[in-house]
Amino acid sequence: MFLATHATVGAIIGRAAPNPLLAFLGGFISHFLLDMIPHGDAHLYENYRNHQKVKRALAYVTLDAVVTAYLILGIRSARQFDNGANVTAGIIGGLLPDLIIGVYNLIKVEWLTWFHNLHFFFHNFFIRRWQRDIAFSYGLTMQIVVLALMQTRI
Ligand SMILES: [Zn+2]
C-alpha cells in the first residue's frame, strides 16, 4: 500500500483519537489492516528480495516517499488541527511498519526478522489464500482514487 495511504489513514485516525498514544497505536494497527487489501505490489517486493528489477522497486518507493512527504506537509500546513499532536502520532504510527521493513532490508537487522514476517503475514494474507495479487495497474488506480477521496476526510 502507498506510504501516502498509510499516512492519510493515520491522520484520519489521529483526528478521531483522544490522545497521541492511541492515535499512534491506531495508525500502527491500521497499517496491517490496510496492507491486507490486495493492492498489486506483492511482485515488486518479491522481485526486490530476489535481486530482480531492484531499480524499479526503489523508484516506486522513492516516488511514494516524496509524494508522502508533500502530502504530510500539505496536511500539516493547510489545516490547523486542535489535536495536531494526535494527527502527527497517527501519521507516524501508520508509516512506521514500512519504515521498519526498510531498515530491515537495508541493514539486515536479524532481530527484526519476526517483524518482517509479521508484516508480510498481513500483507500477503489474501494473496496467499487466493494465490494471486490483483494487477499492478488496478492496484495503482484503486489507491490513487481512494487516496484522493480520503483527502476530504482529514
Ligand atoms: Zn506495509
DSSP state, residue 149: H
Ligand 1 center to residue 92 CA distance, Å? 13
Residue 154 has pLDDT above 80, yes or no: no
* Cα(46) to centroid(ligand 1), Å: 14
pLDDT in the model for residue 81:
73
pLDDT of residue 96: 97
Rounded CA gap, 95 and 110, in Å?
A: 21
Which of 11, 10, 66, 60 minimizes the C-alpha distance to 40? 60
Per-residue confidence (pLDDT) for residue 69, from 0 to 100: 92
- The neighbourhood of ligand 1, an ion, using CB within 5 A, equals 35, 98
> Which whole number is the average pLDDT over 27-52?
88
Q: What is the mean pLDDT of residues 131-145?
A: 88
pLDDT at 134: 84
Asked if the model's pLDDT at residue 20 lies above 80, the reply is yes
Ligand 1 mean position to 123 CA, how many Å?
7
Domain extent for 67 = 3-153
Number of domains in the chain: 1
Whole-angstrom Cα distance, residue 110 to residue 115? 10
Q: Which residue has the higher pLDDT, 134 or 33?
A: 33
Mean per-residue pLDDT, 110-114? 93
Give me ligand 1 centre to Cα 122, in Å.
9
| Residues 45-98: tens digit of each pLDDT | 788 878 888 898 888 889 989 999 988 888 877 777 778 899 999 999 999 999
Q: What is the pLDDT of residue 82?
A: 75
Structure-block grid coordinates of residue 56: 524499479
Average pLDDT of the chain to the nearest whole number? 90
Q: Examine the pLDDT at 10 and tell me if it is beyond 80.
A: yes
Residue 126: count other Cβ atoms within 10 Å of its Cβ.
14
Q: What distance in angstroms lies between residue 70's CA and the mean position of ligand 1's atoms? A: 19
Q: Are 127 and 55 in contact (CB under 8 A)?
A: no
Determine the angle formed by the axes of helices 136-150 and 3-16, rounding to 10 degrees: 30
pTM: 0.88
